[in-house]
């Protein structure tokens, strides 16, 4: 059985927001054996919404529409659905009371625009939205299901988990599907592809391999459709174990692992602690580490030393080094790492200093020049990276490479750095 997703809103088409709802629904559906065969984004115009719903419901067993249900005047999904099904909008009393009590609790006046939230196409099944005022709705045509959900992500997510998925499960028998993905970091795509070609050739025919590169690594996904789940999982486990032997230590682990999560696991296992000193990465390394739950077990803290006085005063970098070698230098990177490690009495430290751009570059230190250092009780090591011209990418890549450099040091694979291509 298959599903299509329709996301509604001019803001998507003119690129003012990125549609993350469909990716989230796609991931959840796919884990549950529902194939999402198409995602379509259309504008806030009634005719286009109707056309998109009409084509989707002819192709797919389940159609999920998100967006266009807010209290403001530009939201017209409900009118489009009512027109497509040839019914009127009528007040749903349960929703009316729900919205009224919500507004009361928050001390917000129950005004006309809030009352409009309780209007729904006559005959639809209302799916109560516990987290907001716009209700979900289910309509049926020829045995197919059309869900209309609010576009606010956390409201939509709760409705999908609590209402949509159970309803779909009850009415359809779902396909068995298994996806498993591993994360690699530090190898260019073409090299990775060549290195693992013999392994790829030898995969069973019912396993599909996909490459998914991004700034934080290249992920490899195996997928199996309509195969016994246990068989598929066992085969994937074997295959990924074989892959790991081929590309270790570029193999970071199973998704959703990231380089920082792999490092976190290592530090937890060893009961060791980490401190970070950031210049060009500006807090991103610290922020990525603390996005992980339980980071306080191993992460002590960080200093973003943007100003040279902070490098000197807080981290103890020599003023002579700053003068002679400049803030973007091996000497300063190493002193930052050692300084923050001692300041916070951590087992390890990571430091970055570089020219993120677009300004600040010079002939010998162009934009993209970054020094990364790691320090441990008894030593320090550093590495020069040369990235490109884009500020965001330079910050992001510096952070990932810095985290990875410590990871490789801890697993005793620092020497691999010499051979790795800069991604």
Indicate which single residue of 103, 165, 257, 266 sits in contact with its own copies (rule: CB under 8 A): 103
The two tokens of residue 373 are: 């250092």
Question: H/E element holding 323?
Answer: helix 319-325
Positive or negative torsion for Cα 326, 329, 331, 337: positive
Choice between 39 and 411, CB closer to its own copies: 39
Choice between 88 and 309, CB closer to its own copies: 309
Choice between 122 and 421, CB closer to its own copies: 421
With beta carbons less than 8 A apart as the criterion, state whether 330 and 382 touch.
Answer: yes
In the complex, minimum distance from the CB of residue 134 to its own copies, in angstroms, rounded to a whole number: 11
In the complex, minimum distance from the CB of residue 42 to its own copies, in angstroms, rounded to a whole number: 6
- How far is it, in rounded angstroms, from Cα 367 to Cα 353? 12
Q: What is the pattern of x (binds its own copies, CB under 8 A) and - over residues 390-409?
A: xxxx-x--------------
Choice between 260 and 334, CB closer to its own copies: 260
Please name which of 56, 59, 60 lies closest in space to residue 8, comparing C-alpha atoms. Answer: 56
Q: What is the DSSP string of 81-121?
A: HHHHHT--EEE-HHHHHHHHHHHHHHT----HHHHGGGEEE
Choice between 122 and 419, CB closer to its own copies: 419
- How far is it, in rounded angstroms, from Cα 396 to Cα 417? 18
| Positions 200 through 229 that interact with its own copies (CB under 8 A) | 200, 208-214, 219, 221, 223
16 binds its own copies (CB under 8 A): yes
Measured distance between the N- and C-terminal CA atoms of the chain, rounded to whole angstroms? 39
| Positions 367 through 386 that interact with its own copies (CB under 8 A) | none
Please name which of 292, 296, 295 lies closest in space to residue 256, comparing C-alpha atoms. Answer: 292
Choice between 71 and 366, CB closer to its own copies: 71
For residue 253, report the phi and psi dihedrals to the nearest 5 degrees.
150, -175
Sole window of 32-40, 236-244, 371-379, 401-409 interacting with its own copies (rule: CB under 8 A):
32-40
| Positions 37 through 96 that interact with its own copies (CB under 8 A) | 37-44, 48, 52, 70-74
In the complex, minimum distance from the CB of residue 389 to its own copies, in angstroms, rounded to a whole number: 10
Choice between 40 and 120, CB closer to its own copies: 40
Choice between 110 and 172, CB closer to its own copies: 110
| Positions 180 through 199 that interact with its own copies (CB under 8 A) | 181, 188-191, 193-194, 197
> Which residues lie below 8 Å from residue 325, measured CB to CB, with a gap of 6+?
331, 332
* Beta partners for residue 221, in sequence order: 181, 210
Q: What is the pattern of x (binds its own copies, CB under 8 A) and - over residues 126-145?
A: -------x------------
For residue 410, report the phi and psi dihedrals to the nearest 5 degrees.
-65, -40
Residues in the interface with its own copies (CB under 8 A) total 108
- Residue 35 DSSP SS3: strand
| Positions 238 through 257 that interact with its own copies (CB under 8 A) | none
Q: What is the pattern of x (binds its own copies, CB under 8 A) and - over residues 152-171?
A: x-x-----------------
Choice between 124 and 399, CB closer to its own copies: 399
| Positions 282 through 321 that interact with its own copies (CB under 8 A) | 282-287, 289-291, 293-296, 299-307, 309-310, 313-314
In the complex, minimum distance from the CB of residue 241 to its own copies, in angstroms, rounded to a whole number: 21
- How far is it, in rounded angstroms, from Cα 380 to Cα 350? 10
Please name which of 82, 21, 17 lies closest in space to residue 49, comparing C-alpha atoms. Answer: 82
């Amino acid at each position: 059985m298959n599903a299509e997703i329709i996301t509604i809103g001019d803001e998507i088409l003119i690129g003012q927001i990125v549609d993350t709802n469909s990716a989230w629904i796609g991931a959840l559906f796919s884990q549950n054996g529902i194939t999402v065969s198409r995602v379509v984004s259309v504008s806030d115009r009634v005719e286009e919404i109707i056309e998109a719903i009409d084509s989707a419901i002819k192709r797919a067993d389940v159609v999920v529409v998100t967006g266009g249900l807010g209290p403001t005047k530009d939201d017209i999904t409900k009118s489009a659905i009512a027109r497509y099904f040839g019914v009127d909008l009528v007040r749903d009393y349960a929703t009316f009371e729900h919205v009224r009590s919500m507004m009361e609790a928050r001390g917000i006046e129950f005004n006309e625009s809030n009352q409009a939230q309780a209007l729904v196409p006559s005959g639809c099944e209302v799916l109560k939205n516990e987290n907001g005022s716009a209700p979900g709705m289910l309509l049926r045509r020829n045995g197919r299901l059309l869900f209309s959900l609010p576009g606010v992500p956390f409201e939509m997510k709760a409705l999908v988990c609590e209402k949509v998925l159970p309803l779909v499960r009850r009415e359809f028998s779902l396909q068995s599907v298994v996806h498993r993905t591993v994360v690699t970091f530090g190898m260019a795509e073409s090299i990775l592809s060549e290195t693992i070609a013999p392994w790829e050739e030898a995969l069973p025919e019912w396993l599909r391999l996909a490459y998914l590169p991004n700034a934080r690594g290249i992920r490899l996904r195996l997928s199996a459709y309509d195969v016994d789940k246990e068989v598929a999982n066992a085969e994937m486990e074997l295959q990924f174990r074989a892959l790991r032997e081929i590309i270790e230590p570029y193999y970071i682990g199973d998704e959703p692992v990231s380089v920082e999560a792999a490092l976190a696991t290592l530090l937890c296992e060893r009961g060791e602690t980490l401190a970070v000193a950031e210049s060009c990465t500006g807090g991103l390394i610290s922020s990525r580490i603390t996005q992980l739950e339980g980071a306080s077990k191993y992460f002590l803290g960080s200093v973003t030393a943007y100003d040279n006085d902070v490098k000197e005063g807080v981290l103890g970098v020599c003023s002579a080094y700053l003068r002679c070698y400049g803030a973007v230098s091996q000497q300063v990177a190493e002193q930052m790492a050692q300084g923050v490690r001692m300041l916070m009495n951590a087992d390890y430290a990571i430091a970055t200093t570089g020219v993120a751009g677009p300004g600040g570059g010079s002939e010998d230190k162009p934009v993209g020049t970054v020094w990364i250092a790691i320090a441990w009780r008894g030593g320090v090591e550093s590495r020069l990276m040369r990235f490109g011209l884009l500020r965001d990418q330079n910050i992001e890549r510096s952070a990932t490479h810095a985290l990875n450099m410590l990871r490789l040091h801890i697993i005793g694979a620092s020497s691999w750095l010499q051979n790795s291509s800069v991604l």
